[in-house]
Amino acid sequence: MQTKNTVSRRTFLKVGAGVLGVAGLAACAAPRSAPAPSGSESAATQAPAQAPAAGKTKLRLMTWSGGEELELHKKAFAAFTDKNDIDLEVTAVPFAEYYTKLQTEAAGGAAADLINIGEAYTARWAASKVVLDMNPFIQSDATFNKDDFWPNVLENFSWQGGIYVLPKDYVTWGLFYNKTLFDEAGLSYPDETWDWSPEGANKYLEAARQLTKKEGDRITQYGTMVPSGWGYWVPRIKDVGGRYLDESRTKCLLNEPQNVQVFQWMSDLINKENVAPTAEAQGAGFGFNSGKVAMMPQGSYMVPSLLEAQFDWAIAPHPQGPKGRNSIMYSSGYGIYAQTKAQEAAWKLAVHMTREGSEILAVTGFSIPSRQSIANKPGLYLNEKTIPHNVQVFMDASKYMSLHEVTPTWTQEEQIINAEVSLLMNGEKTAQAALDAVVPQINALLAKSS
């Protein structure tokens, strides 16, 4: 989901669109607010929030959800549009290109009326005035009930006193495991007593070794997945008492000894222990969902795609590290485009997604609703379909989850880290060498931007 190199026709349309966007900007200096010639056919497709003659309000919403996730969200939107006289158009863009698309649309003055935004990026879109401060809406809505949201969830989306995104849900991580494969190996299932450590014996590595199978010298089943993205390694370095940046967020700490040890361990699981598939093996079909890998540390958003799986599976808390247990927390919601002509309708849909909408998402185990009253509803997030898989783990993770320390240059930092981590994970570099190459680059970036 996050490591896949998704490239579609859309990518290229988008590259084209981006280039044209710049071109359009450059060539026609006329402001977009200029009235479109009446009767022009193209005007209808350009203007995002034009009220057609029928009186139906038109809304456009942009999201990075795709596949089943998108269908799920469309169901949640439909619960709103069916009751209201609203014509909703959904633009879905893969996450890898999502903020690029948003940037070019916003630069062209034609972003969607409702924009899906994750907490890490709120400040950027608030500061550039792409999305509206929602406080006036919140204050004028007597039924809104701010206190119903989980502590801190609304704050994650605030910037300089304003609230710019209305969070619909949040996601935490756990350890998915394949019960069928554990049974075959005669092993007991993972539970909260499990531990992991970058050195010495631990239950997680032991199980991963026993769950790896060979036929001749070819591996036919792997013990675990090792995600290479930050959603995985950020909590792992916290597990050993490390952190990514120092308190002031001006210095990168990734090459400190305990962090280096964690990254080396991640690489060793793949290249030395051979209990986790390489990127190439993953490309050739070794994944948890195909039943060929016994364990997978991942976020709750994987649950819906597994509900129809051919094997029996469940979730355990991620094994505890030497200095505790941690999980990343992702949260997302909708911001209202500052130039929308349908503010009221956009606001209503955003609120809907914190209520009935989030219920529809929660039923599948996808994410936990941002409102406590909804998350705790009996039979909702915890229902007859999800309880057997122990999704309770994701709710319990609220005790040890945390946000990532994000700076304005995070996208570039991520690129620097991923380039070196790819050389670590394919076994060409040691963690020390890779992270020693990362740190000065990130420090230089942080120094320049502060």
Partner 1 sequence: MNTILTRRTGTAGVRHTARFSGWERQQEIWFYALISPWIVGFLMFTLGPMVASAIFSLTQWDLLTPAQWVGLANFAEMVADPLFWNALRVTIVYALGSVSLTIVVAMLVALLLNRNIRGQQFFRVIYYLPFVVSGVAVAWMWRIMYNPEFGVINLVLEFFGIQGPRWLASSAWALPSLIIMSVWGFGGNMVIFLAGLQGIPQHLYEAADIDGATGAAKFWHITLPLMTPAIFFALTTGLIGALQAFTTVYVMTSGGPGNATMVYGLYLYNNAFKFFKMGYASALAWVLFAIILIVTLLQFKLARQWVFYETEA
Tokens of 173: 């991580």
Residue recorded with tokens 């009253």: 373
AA letter at 84: N
Of 113-121, 221-229, 371-379, 409-417, the segment contacting partner 1 by CB under 8 A is 409-417
- Nearest C-alpha neighbor of 353 from the set 331, 333, 368: 333
Q: Say if residues 295 and 177 touch (Cβ distance below 8 Å).
A: yes
Q: Say if residues 173 and 315 touch (Cβ distance below 8 Å).
A: no
Burial level of 171, CB count in 10 A (0-12/13-18/19+)?
buried
CB 97 → partner 1: shortest distance, Å?
Answer: 8
Q: Does 1 bind partner 1 (CB under 8 A)?
A: no
Q: What angle do CA 192, 198, 202 make, to 5 degrees?
A: 45
For partner 1, the closer CB: 389 or 429: 429
User: Beta partners for 98?
Assistant: none
Of 82-90, 280-288, 319-327, 392-400, the segment contacting partner 1 by CB under 8 A is 280-288
For partner 1, the closer CB: 282 or 367: 282
Of 19-27, 261-269, 342-350, 393-401, the segment contacting partner 1 by CB under 8 A is 19-27
For partner 1, the closer CB: 165 or 382: 165
Site string for partner 1, 130-169 (x = CB under 8 A): x---------------------------------------
CB 95 → partner 1: shortest distance, Å?
Answer: 12
For partner 1, the closer CB: 9 or 38: 9
For partner 1, the closer CB: 62 or 315: 62
Helix (H) or strand (E) holding 173: strand 166-178
Q: Using CB under 8 A, which of 1, 2, 25, 323 touches partner 1?
A: 25
Of 78-86, 124-132, 178-186, 238-246, the segment contacting partner 1 by CB under 8 A is 124-132
Within 429-448, the residues that bind partner 1 by CB under 8 A are 429
Q: Using CB under 8 A, which of 9, 82, 143, 384 touches partner 1?
A: 9
Chain centre distance of CA 338: 24
Chain centre distance of CA 226: 17
Of 187-195, 249-257, 264-272, 411-419, the segment contacting partner 1 by CB under 8 A is 411-419
Radius of gyration of the chain (CA): 23
Residue recorded with tokens 């450059």: 26
For partner 1, the closer CB: 69 or 97: 97
With residues binned 3-state (H G I as helix, E B as strand, rest as coil), the percentages for the chain, rounded to 5, are: 45, 20, 40
Phi and psi, residue 12, nearest 5°: -75, -35
For partner 1, the closer CB: 126 or 346: 126
Burial level of 175, CB count in 10 A (0-12/13-18/19+)?
buried
Q: Say if residues 245 and 256 touch (Cβ distance below 8 Å).
A: no
Within 87-116, the residues that bind partner 1 by CB under 8 A are 100, 103-104, 106-107
- Nearest C-alpha neighbor of 138 from the set 437, 347, 445: 347
Q: Using CB under 8 A, which of 47, 79, 395, 423 touches partner 1?
A: 423
How many binding residues for partner 1 (CB under 8 A)?
A: 42
For partner 1, the closer CB: 278 or 398: 278
Backbone dihedral region for residue 324 (phi beyond 0: left; psi -120 to 50: alpha; all else: beta): left
Q: Residue numbers of the site for partner 1 (CB under 8 A)? A: 5, 7, 9, 11-12, 15, 18-20, 22-23, 25-28, 100, 103-104, 106-107, 127-130, 278-281, 283-284, 409, 411-412, 415, 418-420, 422-423, 426, 428-429
